[in-house]
Structure 1
């Protein structure tokens, strides 16, 4: 049983070891890409389930936020990383013992692992003792570690280890090789002729020369000759090797469970800081959000899609931050605007923001206040599949119905272009019904749509529009602003859907006229102007 956890205030919390599947909304929000980047090189820790499960109250979130604030101090983070690197190396050495067939060699590696463990523990205790810690978690660990480092069990382990290391270091032996016979005996102060030989031949040295010494590749094991030599040495010094054998048996499980757990759990913070570090250095802002459990007044300033930012961080592409706010009785954001204007990116970032905040991590933005949800329900377009034996519209209705059945007033809905597979009239009717149901629940929601009517159907809805360059409407700014829907995106959408844009009409008439240049089709100018107006 561990005494301190870095993930939960109660170290016996069953969620530490519980298995959690990836939430349904992870792929829709590109959180799976973020998690893959965070845990890329740390799969051995098995921390994925911690990133899957959101916390249940603000106190739990604040517990992790306080630890993260301590970890964000550069000097402290560097020292914890150094400890983790040594500890991980020690753990891997222990895992390799099974590959060593020689008993004495295996016991020697075990002793080296104990030495590394003792050094790591004392180093960590010193780091925590000298640091100004603001978090309950790390202060609790400091108290535990200082007591452990001065405990009889640890001091005995360290003393016995140091005694054996000294005894083994004082062993000297000679190897006599004659023909195919190798003999091992105690060192009896025989003369070492190496220096005399070097001195004799040094007079013949003329500058740098090519070395013909054979490079023997290093490995963790011993060959059969080396193993037999080691066995002979053990017979020459039976008392020392007997003490080594007793030490290994007595301290077979020498790693303290709390310290071992700390090194694993602290990766939750280290891996995320490593992930967002390059983005921070590039000038993007992250903050610790304020978490509310009952008050649904929420806002975010300067937030962005973390997965997208990570992708473009190595390019010259600029990340465009956005803002949102829900105050008073406002519960839903409806976003309209032109295609490829950043609407889907906005709602993905909205979802990422809530999930990352709910697991206690810093979020993209300069200032953020969020409501702590109990569930996130997403609805993004799915390709039709023959396995379901249902049409696209039928499948959409069933998926949304199931989400509404499971939702509570504390849930969050993220809807991206729902009911696009049916007529505008039917889509408007069905979308109204869904949004009315969500509003009746008093749940928070964000919805991307081309139906401007939805943005003004209720005073609890905030209308936001993805913007274009005022000088050139074909250029997207990727800013999403709070203002009334303008209807322009709707007209363009209809024109594109029915191939009535100016470009489409020109191409259609050109084909009808046998490939003639559209400029020659003077009789069709009126139809071209009609298409241009729709554009």
Structure 2
């Protein structure tokens, strides 16, 4: 069986149901994905954001679709299709909830009618606009072929014929006390227009409207259902045709159409989210992607989850980084609360978002396509494992070093901070040398400044402070040698001797 076309996967392959990656929590990507997909729970988009690509051409395939959908004319066509499909699902949902069979069947007919209109409108809309991406071109071609094929013609013809049959049904309801009589309405005289004409001369301009409009819940009450049953006995052919129609077309939804309706939401959701952030001045870009070169950089990059939380109420500081040649590891030091962890999360987010084929939160970027992303963040002690915090950290870093390859991305944040400076230096040096031998791209946030100068593979990044006020952080990380103050600052803060703490005490 031929695969249906996909706007996410060039070969039309399907994605299973991957578990949320272990690093999502550390990198706050779960928060970011929740914000991106808010209001679109029906599409179950989380699994697409949990399944990174591993080939550069597949990433470029998604870039093409993103670029097409960033153009208003193309996006409006797709959004109109998505809205029609949403209305179709609403009718199907009503049909599933309703108790009375004939009403269920009518809602099903309405759903199919909306579906036919949605697909036809999609074809007409895509005919009008210029499509450049391979993904949307494949959908356009498939929809054109689908509409020209006999099964769709039969579906459309059956739908129109049945709607006409039902529209011709007319009946009279005569209510006398508790008795309701339903009979055919055979073109009997309708005196309503004559009455209106007779009393038209008494109209005196605009007057108060005394009409009472009753609410119409989607499900009939038992009396309405009995009236409908009576009408069905008067017109058995039309209602038998309705039942046959529902059975014959119960699988009307083409797999490729349903797949496109869902997959395209990956793009629409992400683009809607970044439009809100871009309106505040933050920039996104399509990064250069390589699965072989470890030369990477990003300019004016930022933490997507943090931006979602802060913007537009608070300003966001962007950062740069670059690794080239033999450089593999960014060793980040500096004062606490200076943006080091945010920088580490940003680095990991960029790697994952690039592997999803999404525009990344940066003005410009060249990024590596990793086989996996690993994170090593501080954890609370787990009484179940009967291990102390340091033991747990060592076990986790052992597992990472065992599973990581030269094509992996590692994010280590404040690793081994629970031990002494001497032990942290000893363990950190050993771990970092193993990572350097491995050749994996890494960010290592630490208070041990010595780790920033282990060789040509390491690059030192230092959190900045305002020169005239060391207690005030700039949240900008600078590429320069570690200044040896990170651990001293950590100790001072631990014992209440940090600059800002002492200043508050003196000011009392």
Q: 1:528 — aligned with what?
A: none
Q: 2:417 — aligned with what?
A: 420
Query: Cα offset for 1:192?
Result: 3.3
Q: Distance in 1 between matches of 2:142 and 2:206?
A: 60
Give 1:33-72 correspondences, 5 Å limit. Answer: 33-72=31-70
Query: Cα offset for 1:490?
Result: 3.1
Q: 1:480 — aligned with what?
A: 477
Q: 1:104 — aligned with what?
A: 102
Is the contact between residue 280 and residue 312 of structure 2 (CA under 8 Å) also seen in structure 1? no
Give 1:187-336 correspondences, 5 Å limit. Answer: 187-195=185-193, 197=195, 200=199, 203=202, 208-209=207-208, 211=210, 213=212, 215-315=213-313, 317-336=314-333
Query: Cα offset for 1:237?
Result: 2.2
Query: Cα offset for 1:43?
Result: 2.1
Deviates more, 1:235-244 or 1:114-123: 235-244
Match among 393, 397, 402 for residue 399 of structure 2: 402
Q: 2:11 — aligned with what?
A: 10
Is the contact between residue 471 and residue 499 of structure 2 (CA under 8 Å) also seen in structure 1? no
Residue deviations 1:149-201, cap 9 Å, x none?
11111112112211221222222222111222211222233343444555539
Q: Distance in 2 between matches of 1:310 and 1:300?
A: 19
Q: Distance in 2 between matches of 1:106 and 1:502?
A: 72
Q: 1:74 — aligned with what?
A: 72
Q: Distance in 2 between matches of 1:153 and 1:335?
A: 62
Q: Secondary structure at the match of 1:54?
A: coil
Calculate the aligned-residue CA RMSD, in Å: 2.2
Q: Distance in 2 between matches of 1:202 and 1:320?
A: 74
TM-score (norm 2): 0.94
Q: 2:342 — aligned with what?
A: 345
Q: 1:178 — aligned with what?
A: 176
Is the contact between residue 329 and residue 459 of structure 2 (CA under 8 Å) also seen in structure 1? yes
Given the alignment of the two structures, is residue 165 of structure 1 paired with residue 163 of structure 2, yes or no? yes
Deviates more, 1:177-186 or 1:440-449: 177-186
Query: Cα offset for 1:492?
Result: 2.0
Query: Cα offset for 1:251?
Result: 1.5
Q: Distance in 2 between matches of 1:505 and 1:67?
A: 55
Q: Distance in 1 between matches of 2:48 and 2:498?
A: 49
- Residues 39 and 499 of structure 1: CA distance in aligned 2, closer, same or farther (over 3 Å): same
Larger Rg: 1
Q: 1:491 — aligned with what?
A: 488
Residue deviations 1:219-260, cap 9 Å, x none?
221112211222222222223223323322221211111101
Q: 1:523 — aligned with what?
A: none
Q: Secondary structure at the match of 2:297?
A: strand
Query: Cα offset for 1:487?
Result: 2.1
Deviates more, 1:43-52 or 1:110-119: 43-52
Q: Distance in 2 between matches of 1:457 and 1:418?
A: 17
Give 1:377-456 correspondences, 5 Å limit. Answer: 377-456=374-453
Is the contact between residue 301 and residue 361 of structure 2 (CA under 8 Å) also seen in structure 1? yes
Q: Secondary structure at the match of 1:55?
A: coil
Query: Cα offset for 1:287?
Result: 0.9
Q: Secondary structure at the match of 1:29?
A: coil
Unaligned runs of 5+ in 2: none
Q: Distance in 2 between matches of 1:77 and 1:129?
A: 13
Q: Distance in 2 between matches of 1:357 and 1:430?
A: 32
Is the contact between residue 374 and residue 400 of structure 2 (CA under 8 Å) also seen in structure 1? yes
Q: Distance in 2 between matches of 1:504 and 1:26?
A: 34
Give the paired residue count: 506
Q: 1:376 — aligned with what?
A: 373
Q: Secondary structure at the match of 1:188?
A: coil
